[in-house]
Structure 1
Amino acid sequence: MISFIKSVLIDLQKKGLNLEDLYFILPSKRAGVFLKHHLSTLIDHPIFAPHILSSEEFVEELSGLQNLPNTDLIFRLYETYISLTSKEDQESFESFSTWAQILLQDFNEIDRYLIPQDHIFDYLKAIKELNHWSLEPEQTDLIKNHLKFWKHLKSYYTAFTENLLTSKQGYQGLIYREAVDNLESYMENCKAKTHVFLGFNALNTAESQIIQGLLKNDLAHIYWDIDKAFIDDHVHDAGWFTRQHRSKWNYFKSQPFNWVTQHYTEPKQIEAIGIPKLVGQAKYIGQLLDELTEKDSNVSKIAVVLGEEHLLLPVLNSIPNHITKLNVTMGLPLQFVPLASFFEELLSIHKTNPKQFYYKDVISILSHPSIYPLFDAETSNVSEDIVAYIQKNNIVYMTVGELNQLTTSHSKLIDLLFSSWNDNPRKALEHCSELILKMKWNFEDDKQNHSLELEYLYRFNTLFNQLSQLESTYKYLKSIVALQSIYRELLSSETLDFKGEPLEGLQIMGMLESRVLDFETVIISSVNEGILPSGKTNNSFIPFDVKIENHLPTFKEKDAVYTYHFYRLLQRAKNVYILYNTEIDALKGGEKSRFLTQLEVEGIHDIKSRIISPDVPIIEQKLTEIIKTPSVIEQIKVLSGKGYSPSSLTNYIRNPIDFYYDKILGIKEFDEVEENIAANTLGSVIHNSLEDFYKPLEGSILTVDHLKDFKKCTKAMVTKHFEDLYNKGGFSQGKNLIIFEIAQRYILNFLNLEIESLNQGREIKILSIESDESIDIAIDGLDFPIKLKGKVDRVDMFDGVVRVIDYKSGKVEQNKVEIVEWEDITTDYIKYSKPFQILCYAYMMRQNNRIKLPIEAGIISFKNLNEGFLKFGKKPSSHSRKKDHLITDETLDNFEIELKKLISEICNSKLNFIEKELD
């Protein structure tokens, strides 16, 4: 295969042109590297390299203007805007920057296509006046402001372009317009130059006029890279632009239209491969490269063309290890570098100039991989200690002063991160730059190789230097919000460039970087609708119909551009692998590109289609089983000596594995910050408040006066216990205030229930409150001591009947404290955990001779207080219809049998801990 560039050079040699005197103009800089390479293969003696320029460089040279970066243009446009807008109508810079980018794009299009400015701006203003939505004869302020923008567009454009031209600077469109204006004088002064344009396709009006002017004056040659299959097909988008050039350019009315090739119809192996997700495509590209390089080790013939730029890192991580040489043409966008998220988060937490910081923001900043190493101390990491302190003390908001109290060795770093920026962008930029220096010093002190991280830092240091220069030059950044807006704008356009072998090894590039280049094997990713082509996006102030009338490009032309690039890649290739995503990802993916359907319909090539998916091993779901080894049995003996609580036994009933993790291994739940008061905290507050109220009344008969006194103190008591349990977490606002009020309401409702009972003539005597109970249990076959322990919330005498009461802050129904068969009480946690607990308490108190049977035992549910005291009950079996609520010796003897069975099961060395399937 002879590449397009080489065939052009051979033709130029045949014409007898001196190659070193030529001016080559190419669509991209990248193509220039390959042109030099192919030129070196055609000469037999040293020569000076010819002039090789990209189209942008050539036009810039022709215009005499310097191309300004996009961010600078936004500031310059704002300068124009405030000079032409009355002070009361001026928008802030951050508001202006949200629409200025679209306006710049429109100015760019108008100039590149040489649209008469007066015509299009007057036309737009007239359309908007006709189309405004109000039918009222008098225009409202809203409509007046809306129309004012369109009236001012022409004056914005005129003043802005005049300002740029005065300083010999411009945006791309203005440079093109100026280049056209300078074309005549340029041609007068370059009679000895021969320009060679090669590989162009879609040309704007300015480019078209420049090339036609040079061709007309015999100062240029043009080489199209188009195939007969595309240009002769009147509906094929790949030949859309070239057909227009052939039919409309005066030059081709007298000159032949050469360079129409017939490579596309040559035999090719084309595969369309559907793969789920982007990462799936990246992994498959690695697998494909592995297979291809087994057959041919020359990877320089292979190009990987990425439809989406953020696929770059996954692809680089998927390349086989034996491919050591590669060239990445596309840069890695800085927004995908880990540092980007750190500075984005830092700007976000400071943009409201907070007096205190939300704990999740603090933890996120301190734990970020870019900052975490800076807190390393001799024995520990200070950021870890701060995070642990926040979690332990349940802190939801923190001030910078409180953070500084937690560390003396890193107070300077804490200040850089959290001290107030006072909504001052200058201070923000100073802090960010100083943080970058600290990260740099830390990497340099570390003996490990951090070249990539240092490169990241260098690029971000450059970015913040740009921001500092813009801030000091223009003085329009008045807030952190404005700074963040420009930071994001710069971040989206800046890239981290890779150093590689430009002519050797595997070539990885974006679709636009592939222009003019040819490869034998091409792998194209993300060939999905909405990506290739990108579809009907119209980010412009100029309506679609106005664009059509003024011959401005629309999505139709944009699609045709990508159609050409796609098919041009296929022209000279022998092996083509087209990958697309089969899964629907948000707003794109799932539907393969129309390009693939077109390839199949045109019938020129036999397209092999297949859907592949990664090998997912079948993981057999097995219930965890823990063998009771001698060390586990030893821990069980220790636990038995300390004592089993009713809650630990019900935890075993629920799932033996949870019991093993908690009681045998001692693994506790992660101590998270309780941002909203949790159910267990609410329950503890209610328990502790009632304990403080009732504990002094042990042995006394309860009176209405007692209860009225309790009601008066309820708020103070609840506040005290919330402060004790919730540490420094606040409960004066939001959900926590609601939960605080609920705790008070529960207690007041309970006290009212007690008052109602007393008013009905009931007598309530408090026997014990929060009583600690513990007993020894002898179990046949076990030769080590076993204890049962627990805390009984309340024991009282209600009209002469002793009641053992357990408080529950959640909702409990009467049927949840009743059983049918004794054997079931240790098997079903959901149904029988409540009766199991209250029977444990009654059993311990009987064994300690603290109560005389018969008694009642049950639950008071604060979320179901209307039901009152929910008594334990033994539901009737099939041969008995009587429901028994009294707890007798027989009741507890039956319970004892099941309790000992359960403990025996836990202690039995032959019965392993086996996980239960939870519903």
Structure 2
Amino acid sequence: MTTFIFDVLKDLKDSEINLSKLTFILPSKRAGLFLKHQLYKVADETIFSPEIISIEEFVENTSQLKPISNTELLFEFYNSYVTLTKKENQDTFEVFSKWAQILLQDFNEIDRYLIPQENIFNYLSDIQELKHWSLEQNKTDFVKNYLSFWNKLYTYYTHFTQQLLNKNSGYQGLIYREAVKNLESYIQSNTEKKHVFLGFNALNTAEETIIQKLLEHDVAKIYWDIDQVFFNNQKHDAALFTRQHQTRWKYFENNPFHWITNNYSKEKNISIYGVPKNIGQSKYIGTLLNNLSQSDPSLQNTAVVLGDENLLIPVLNSLPSTIEALNITMGFPLKSIPLASLFESLFKLHKNPSKSFYYKDAINIIAHQFIRPLFYFDDTDYASKIIETIEANNIIYLTSDRLKQIAAKAETIIDILFTNWEIAIDDALKNCSQLILTIKNDLIENKASNLLPLEYLFRFNELFNELSRLNSEYHHIKDISALFSIYKELLSTETLDFQGEPLQGLQIMGMLESRVLDFETVIISSVNEGILPSGKSNNSFIPFDVKLENNLPTYKEKDAVYTYHFYRLLQRAKNIHIIYNTEADVLTGGEKSRFITQLQLENIHKINHQIIAPHVPVIQPKLNQINKTPQLLNQIIEVAKQGFSPSSLSNYIRNPIDFYYQKILKIKEHDDAEETVAANTLGTVVHNTLEDFYKPFIGEFLTVENIKNLKPKINETVSHHFKNEYKEGDITKGKNLIVFEIAKRYVSNFLDLEIQDLKAGNQIKMIAVEAENNVFIDIPELNFPINLTGKVDRVDEYNGVTRIIDYKTGQVSQSSVEIVDWEAITTDYDKYSKSFQVLTYALMMHQSNQIQLPVEAGIFSFKNLRHGFLKFAQKDKTGPYAKKNALITEDTIDKFSIELKKLVLEICNLDIPFTEKEI
């Protein structure tokens, strides 16, 4: 395969032109590198390398202006805006930056296409006047200001461009316009220099003017790279611009048009693959490269062209390990680097000035991969200490002083991260620079394994140095919000450039980087509508019809540019793999590109079209199962010695695997800080409050007076227990205040129920509150002791009958404490878990001789207090006419003991694994 660059060099050589004296001008610097590499193929002898520059470099040299960044342009433009706008009508820099970006793009287009500035700005102003009824007498202030803005556009433009010219700098369009002005002078100074333009397609008016002038003065040659299939088809957009140049340029009336080639019609292997999702495309690119490397391990003449440059990282992660040499043309966006998320979190934290920080925002920063190591002092992980303290004490909003109390040794890094951000922008930027330096000092201790993170830091250090320079020079950034906005603007344009050997191995590039370059094998990804081509978008203040009238590019020309690049990649390639996303996407459409449909309709090449589906193995859902070993049995024995609690046994009934995790492996669920009081915290507060109230009455009969005297203490006691349980959590507002009031209401309602009972003539004697139990149960089949342990909320005597009471703050109904089938009590958690618990309490208290049978056992449900004490009952059958027996007798305990022992034997049986239940 011969490349376009080689053909140009060969033609020049055959024309006996001295290559060393030529100035080659190409669309990009990368193309210049490939041209330099091809020189040796046509040179018969040692020669001096010719001058090889990009079109941007040539225009800058001609204009005598230096380009400045988009961000600095914003600062310069704001100077002009502030100078020409009344103070009361001025936008803040943050608001200004949103619309000024679009206006700067329009300035750039107007200058690149050499449109008379005053005419177009006056035209735009007149359009707005017509839209907003300029003859209307009573215009609102808003309309007046709006029309005033449009009337000032030309003034803004003039002042802004003059300010730039005074500094010998400019944006791309202004540099092009000045280059055209200086062109005659340049030509007179370089009459002996011969310029060669090659590989151009869509030219703006300034570029057309420059090239035509040089051609007319016989100091230039130009080579087009277009195929006759496209050129001869008047409807094919790939040759839209080339046809226009040939017909409109006066030079081609008497001079040959180089070149119309015939490469596209040659035989090609074209495969089109529909692959679901972006990751699917990335993985399939890896598969294709793996197959290609079998026959060509070097992949020397292979290029992966990413239609969507966001695929770079997934593609790099999908490359086969056999690829040795790799060159990446596109940069890695700084916004995708982990360090970017850190600074974004910091800016968001400080965006709204406040002395306190939401705990999740603070943890997000402290736990960041670059920050956490900075909290490590004297073998102590202070980051973990802070996070644990926040969660244990329910600190929802915290200050820098509170952080320093928790981790005094980390005071320096806490100051950098959390203080002095709101005082001045200079201080905020100093904090950012200081943070980068601190992270660098930490990473440099192990430099060899931290080369990439250190590179990240270097690029971010450059970025913040630029922000500091711009702020010190212009002083437009007044608050953190504006700084954040400009930071994001800078971040979106900055990249981390890869270093590699550009002429070796596999090439990975974006569509624009492929200009002028030819490869034998090409893989193009994301060939979908909305990406290739990018489709209609009108990010401009200039209406569509005004653009047409002034020959400014619209979406049609933009699509034609993409069409040219796409088809030019195919011209000389032999093996072409085109990949598109089959999954519809809300934002980018998702249907395959019109380019694919066009390729199929042309019927020039045989095309292999496949829909690729990833191999998804069918994984049968399988319940987790843990087989018991002698070692595991030893752990169960230890748990048995300490005592099985009713809740742990209920947990086993519900799901044995949870029992294994919690009692054997000792794995506890992670508790986050409670922003809203959790149900278990509410339950604990109510339990503890009732314990405090009733403990003084143990051994005594309750009286109405006793209970009434407790009611004034509810607020104080509940508050005390909330403080103990909820720590530093705030219960004075929001949902927490509601939960606090609910807790008080629960306690108050329960006391009211007691008063009603007593007034009705019932006698209640307190026997025990929060009664501790730890009893041995005899299971002859086991050769190790089994203990039961648990705490009973309350034991009392009600009209001479002993009651074992369990408090529940949740909803419990009478049917939940009734039993028909004794065998189901250890298998059906949903139906019988409450009965199981109260019977276990009864068994323990009976075995420890704290009570004498018969007794009653049951539940007070605080959400169902109107039904009073919900007694455990045995039923002889189901249905409304079933006989119930609420007394727990020796027979009841015996029946329950049989089932309980079966359950314990199952837990301790080596042959019965812990098997997960479907819940």
**TM-score, normalised by the number of residues in structure 1:** 0.96
Alpha-carbon deviation of 1:585?
Answer: 4.9
Q: Which residue of structure 2 aligns with residue 824 of structure 1?
A: 824
Q: Which residue of structure 1 aligns with residue 426 of structure 2?
A: 426
Distance 1:460 1:366 in 2: 19
Where 2:114 maps in the other structure, the secondary structure is: coil
What is the one-letter code of the residue matched to 2:458?
Y
Q: Does 1:651 align with 2:636?
A: no
Contact 2:25 2:196 in 1 (8 A): yes
Q: Which residue of structure 2 aligns with residue 689 of structure 1?
A: 689
Report the identity percentage: 59
Q: Does 1:886 align with 2:874?
A: no
Q: Which residue of structure 2 aligns with residue 442 of structure 1?
A: 442
Distance 1:317 1:133 in 2: 58
Distance 1:711 1:846 in 2: 33
Distance 1:448 1:297 in 2: 30
Contact 1:582 1:589 in 2 (8 A): no
Distance 2:136 2:687 in 1: 67
Contact 2:293 2:322 in 1 (8 A): no
Where 1:916 maps in the other structure, the secondary structure is: coil
| C-alpha distance after superposition, 1:867-902 (max 9, x if no partner) | 332222334426973233333333332222211211
- In 2 relative to 1, CA 220–448 (structure 1 residues): closer, same or farther, beyond 3 Å? closer
- List aligned pairs for 1:313-328, cutoff 5 A: 313-328=313-328
Where 1:508 maps in the other structure, the secondary structure is: strand
Q: Which residue of structure 1 aligns with residue 896 of structure 2?
A: 895
Alpha-carbon deviation of 1:759?
Answer: 4.0
Q: Which residue of structure 1 aligns with residue 131 of structure 2?
A: 131
- Which segment drifts farther, 134-143 or 502-511? 134-143
- In 2 relative to 1, CA 37–867 (structure 1 residues): closer, same or farther, beyond 3 Å? same
Where 1:910 maps in the other structure, the secondary structure is: coil
Contact 1:354 1:420 in 2 (8 A): no
Contact 1:429 1:464 in 2 (8 A): yes
Contact 1:20 1:47 in 2 (8 A): yes
Q: Does 1:581 align with 2:581?
A: yes
Alpha-carbon deviation of 1:841?
Answer: 1.6
Q: Which residue of structure 2 aligns with residue 757 of structure 1?
A: 757
Distance 1:477 1:422 in 2: 12
Q: Which residue of structure 2 aligns with residue 479 of structure 1?
A: 479
Where 1:477 maps in the other structure, the secondary structure is: coil
Q: Which residue of structure 1 aligns with residue 106 of structure 2?
A: 106
Where 2:438 maps in the other structure, the secondary structure is: helix
- List aligned pairs for 1:794-813, cutoff 5 A: 794-813=794-813
Contact 1:765 1:797 in 2 (8 A): yes
Where 2:666 maps in the other structure, the secondary structure is: coil
Q: Does 1:526 align with 2:543?
A: no
Q: Which residue of structure 2 aligns with residue 172 of structure 1?
A: 172
RMSD of Structure 2 on Structure 1 (CA): 2.1
Where 1:343 maps in the other structure, the secondary structure is: helix
Q: Which residue of structure 2 aligns with residue 341 of structure 1?
A: 341
Distance 1:589 1:843 in 2: 68
- Which segment drifts farther, 873-882 or 765-774? 873-882
Where 1:273 maps in the other structure, the secondary structure is: strand
Q: Which residue of structure 1 aligns with residue 500 of structure 2?
A: 500
Distance 1:165 1:775 in 2: 93
Distance 2:136 2:854 in 1: 87
Q: Which residue of structure 2 aligns with residue 204 of structure 1?
A: 204
What is the one-letter code of the residue matched to 1:424?
A
Alpha-carbon deviation of 1:378?
Answer: 4.1
Distance 1:322 1:269 in 2: 24
- Which segment drifts farther, 892-901 or 128-137? 128-137
Contact 1:581 1:589 in 2 (8 A): no
What is the one-letter code of the residue matched to 2:153?
L
Q: Which residue of structure 2 aligns with residue 725 of structure 1?
A: 725
Q: Which residue of structure 1 aligns with residue 916 of structure 2?
A: 915
| C-alpha distance after superposition, 1:805-845 (max 9, x if no partner) | 21111122232222221111111112211111112122222
- Which segment drifts farther, 126-135 or 309-318? 126-135
Distance 1:665 1:23 in 2: 75
Distance 2:208 2:447 in 1: 57
- Which segment drifts farther, 225-234 or 314-323? 314-323
Q: Which residue of structure 2 aligns with residue 376 of structure 1?
A: 376
Alpha-carbon deviation of 1:530?
Answer: 1.7
- List aligned pairs for 1:170-249, cutoff 5 A: 170-249=170-249
- In 2 relative to 1, CA 140–898 (structure 1 residues): closer, same or farther, beyond 3 Å? same
| C-alpha distance after superposition, 1:267-318 (max 9, x if no partner) | 1111112223323322322222222121123422011111222322232233
Distance 2:551 2:763 in 1: 95
| C-alpha distance after superposition, 1:736-773 (max 9, x if no partner) | 22222222222223223333434444443333221122
- In 2 relative to 1, CA 774–409 (structure 1 residues): closer, same or farther, beyond 3 Å? closer
Distance 1:721 1:167 in 2: 70
Q: Which residue of structure 2 aligns with residue 627 of structure 1?
A: 627
- In 2 relative to 1, CA 541–812 (structure 1 residues): closer, same or farther, beyond 3 Å? farther
Q: Which residue of structure 1 aligns with residue 740 of structure 2?
A: 740
- Which segment drifts farther, 422-431 or 145-154? 145-154
Distance 2:99 2:713 in 1: 59
- Which segment drifts farther, 583-592 or 283-292? 583-592
Contact 2:854 2:890 in 1 (8 A): yes
What is the one-letter code of the residue matched to 1:159?
H
Q: Which residue of structure 1 aligns with residue 255 of structure 2?
A: 255
Where 1:258 maps in the other structure, the secondary structure is: coil
Where 1:24 maps in the other structure, the secondary structure is: strand
What is the one-letter code of the residue matched to 1:907?
C
- Which segment drifts farther, 124-133 or 170-179? 124-133
**TM-score, normalised by the number of residues in structure 2:** 0.96
Q: Which residue of structure 1 aligns with residue 159 of structure 2?
A: 159
Distance 1:448 1:180 in 2: 51
Alpha-carbon deviation of 1:133?
Answer: 8.9
Contact 2:385 2:407 in 1 (8 A): no
Q: Which residue of structure 2 aligns with residue 781 of structure 1?
A: 781
- In 2 relative to 1, CA 157–708 (structure 1 residues): closer, same or farther, beyond 3 Å? farther
What is the one-letter code of the residue matched to 2:439?
M
What is the one-letter code of the residue matched to 1:398?
L
Q: Which residue of structure 2 aligns with residue 56 of structure 1?
A: 56
Contact 2:13 2:42 in 1 (8 A): no
- Which segment drifts farther, 105-114 or 368-377? 368-377
- In 2 relative to 1, CA 548–697 (structure 1 residues): closer, same or farther, beyond 3 Å? farther
Distance 1:370 1:646 in 2: 46
Contact 1:353 1:423 in 2 (8 A): no
Q: Which residue of structure 1 aligns with residue 877 of structure 2?
A: 877
Distance 2:304 2:88 in 1: 54
- Which segment drifts farther, 52-61 or 790-799? 790-799
- Which segment drifts farther, 216-225 or 487-496? 216-225
| C-alpha distance after superposition, 1:101-132 (max 9, x if no partner) | 11111111111112222222122222222223
Q: Does 1:93 align with 2:96?
A: no
Q: Which residue of structure 2 aligns with residue 46 of structure 1?
A: 46
Alpha-carbon deviation of 1:456?
Answer: 1.4
Contact 2:793 2:806 in 1 (8 A): yes
Q: Does 1:709 align with 2:706?
A: no
- Which segment drifts farther, 1-10 or 776-785? 776-785
- Which segment drifts farther, 673-682 or 139-148? 139-148
| C-alpha distance after superposition, 1:419-442 (max 9, x if no partner) | 232242111111111122222222
Distance 1:740 1:179 in 2: 75
What is the one-letter code of the residue matched to 2:372?
Y
- In 2 relative to 1, CA 13–143 (structure 1 residues): closer, same or farther, beyond 3 Å? same
Where 1:771 maps in the other structure, the secondary structure is: strand
Contact 1:423 1:479 in 2 (8 A): no
Distance 1:98 1:794 in 2: 67
Where 1:795 maps in the other structure, the secondary structure is: strand
Distance 1:525 1:55 in 2: 28
- In 2 relative to 1, CA 878–361 (structure 1 residues): closer, same or farther, beyond 3 Å? closer
What is the one-letter code of the residue matched to 2:46?
P
- Which segment drifts farther, 510-519 or 780-789? 780-789
What is the one-letter code of the residue matched to 1:723?
K
Q: Which residue of structure 2 aligns with residue 81 of structure 1?
A: 81
- In 2 relative to 1, CA 891–140 (structure 1 residues): closer, same or farther, beyond 3 Å? farther
What is the one-letter code of the residue matched to 2:495?
T
Alpha-carbon deviation of 1:564?
Answer: 0.9
Q: Which residue of structure 1 aligns with residue 551 of structure 2?
A: 551
